[in-house]
Amino acid sequence: MHKIFFILLSIFSFSNLVYSQKIQDKQTTPIPNKPKLIVGIIIDQMRYDYLYKYEQKYSPNGFKKLMYQGFNCKNNHYNYVPTYTGPGHATVYTGTTPAIHGIIANDWYVRETDKMMYCAQDDRVETVGSSTKKVGKMSPRNMLTTTITDELKLATNMKSKTIGIALKDRGAILPAGHMADAAYWFDGATGNWVSSTFYMETLPNWVDSFNKQKVYENYLSKPWETLLPIKQYTESLADDNPYEGRLKGEERPVFPHDLPKLYKEEDAGVIRYTPFGNTFTKDFAVTTIKSEQLGKRDVTDFLAVSFSSPDYIGHNWGPHSIEIQDNYLRLDKDIADFISFLEGWVGKENLLIFLTADHGGANVPQYLIDNNTPAGIFKSEALVDTAMKYMKSLYGNERWILNYENEQFFLNRKLIFDKRMNLHEMQEKLAEFCLQYKGVSAVYTAHALSNTSFHNMPGELVQMGFHQKRSGDVALVLEPGWMEYRTTGTTHGTVYNYDTHVPLLWYGWKIKSGESYHKTYITDIAPTISSLLNIPFPNGAIGNPLIEFISK
């Protein structure tokens, strides 16, 4: 009996030893020194609340996988204005604000030429992959600093591959950086993914092959119906309501949206206004990874992907529409498919993902007004006209105001200097005049923004977006709920939470699961990646590395 007891005790002890060793081995499995692949995901016009507003209808493996198996920075904000697409994409990847990286808007006025400049415009290059000449005259040259993708190239002696992809050119070009292997964006006129001679002389064979398949036609061959029965979209307003815009050719802003008809009357660019633009982007991203063998070499590769369609949908239908909800339910499935592919391609332990947005989006002002909340549509044309008359009444019948753009006035500095007038005084006079205008909350002069350090809202955010050479002479801040836009759909660009508060999710290599309410800024993303990779910060970075979710 004692012999049997000792035999059983020995077996039990040995089993415990083996089990303990397995746990120890599992716990001490070394984390790779570096990820094989970093995937940065930017969603164009994603408000933070969309993570939770539609959560009950999300799948387990899309947004919720990143939220609950990754790390959720729940109080993440933009720290400048204007909160637009171009500046947002540049800021995520440079770790700094427009005051330093120079992408002060999507388009801005240039005094020296008296013309507008598009953020990715480059007339020195040509289109690659399309007969549409203007679509490819793009590069990152207007961005004045390096990106995290640039720093990765430098740190690996150009061995790492960095590629940017988005339907919008600026969503692909600015994240990819100055040293990118490629950036690809969508030409709606031809349905092709295109690039520019800044990156290459001809498209790779695999891109040509993808374009020839005309994959987008699969998504435009049938109407856009809701993913779920429309009665289940209880988080949104009724399908037919007065706060939504319509697509060209539609009589009412309701489901189903006749995509075959719209495609026939317009061009392939219609896909931008549908959730299938996201799926099409995901398809191309997966093909890019496979064709370029990203993550399959002995250095870290970086793919920057921006999903542009939510912005087009939000602008047209607004944040309370069934269209925007259906977009996010379908995007959740695309994110789930993409994560599944990435984990199968390189493994979770070799994969680092971050997901954020380039800005949020405002509530439709008329909807707020109808619900007894202060809001309004700002009519800048009337302000500009009266401001010009006011300046002429003070200083004579000259063209004192050259331009008004991005809620900033540009004074005629050459004329002012030639006449030996006081620029500072003229800025102050114009600012005082504008402050009296309905819908204006605050006004800042270039002199104040250049000579005073602001530490409170909204002055601090205006200053962080103010570039002394590129910005205007007088900058307006509108009241909460106000915007320059049409009466239906929505836009963005303000200092307020609905535009600045965006998701920031981390997942994969070295990322612990959890969440934090500590305030983080969009400028922290690039320095965090630099710290994880032990490479230099982008050269203009002002953000701080986030460390609380990092496994040692």
Active-site amino acid positions: 85
How far is the CA of 433 from the CAs of 383, 422, 436, in angstroms? 10, 17, 6
Number of Cβ within 10 Å of residue 514's Cβ equals: 12
Any idea which residue has 């993808």 for tokens?
A: 210
Residues 90 and 149: beta-carbon distance below 8 Å: no
- Collapsing DSSP to helix, strand or coil, 278 comes out as helix
Cβ 473 vs Cβ 402: under 8 Å: no
Closest CA to 169 of 196, 205, 197: 196
For residues 101 and 124, give the distance between their C-alpha atoms in angstroms, rounded to a whole number.
Answer: 21
Q: Nearest Cα to 278, choosing from 63, 106, 105?
A: 63
Mind giving me the DSSP string for 420-487? T--HHHHHHHHHHHHHTSTTEEEEEEHHHHHH----STTHHHHHHT--TTTS-SEEEEEPTTEESS-S
Cα–Cα distance for residue pair 86/103, rounded to 1 Å: 7
Residues 341 and 65: their CA atoms lie apart, in Å, by 14
Quick check: 476 and 317 in contact, CB under 8 A? no
How far, in Å, CA of 301 to CA of 340, rounded? 18
On whether the CB atoms of residues 507 and 482 are closer than 8 A, the answer is: no
CB-CB neighbours of 85 under 10 Å: 26
E strand or H helix at 476, and its extent? strand 474-478
How many angstroms separate the CA atoms of 153 and 159, rounded?
7
Alpha-carbon Rg of the chain, whole angstroms? 26
